[in-house]
Amino acid sequence: MTSKKIRVCPRCGSQRIHTAKSAVSGWLVPDTYYCDDCKYSGPVYVEVEVDDAEQLRKVINGEASEA
């Protein structure tokens, strides 16, 4: 069984999160992450296993259907 980890948005759980590419090289600047879905931007992201990503998204959005 393989478990691949992916980055997801800490706000909405979307997998459409990406880092900003800085045009400045040679400077140590913190990465900023942007979410395409909720427009989150910030220095943190959530890393989860692929199998857990959908469940996380549901929990964040209050869609969890488990009793």
- Write out the residues near Zn ion by the rule CB under 5 A: 9, 11-12, 14, 35, 37-38, 40
CB of 29 to Zn ion, least distance (A): 22
CA distances to 15, 29, 42 from 9, in Å: 6, 20, 10
Nearer to Zn ion, 1 or 14 (CB): 14
To the nearest 10°, report the CA torsion of 28, 29, 34, 40.
140
CB of 38 to Zn ion, least distance (A): 3
Nearer to Zn ion, 5 or 39 (CB): 39
Q: Are 13 and 57 in contact (CB under 8 A)?
A: yes
Nearer to Zn ion, 25 or 54 (CB): 54
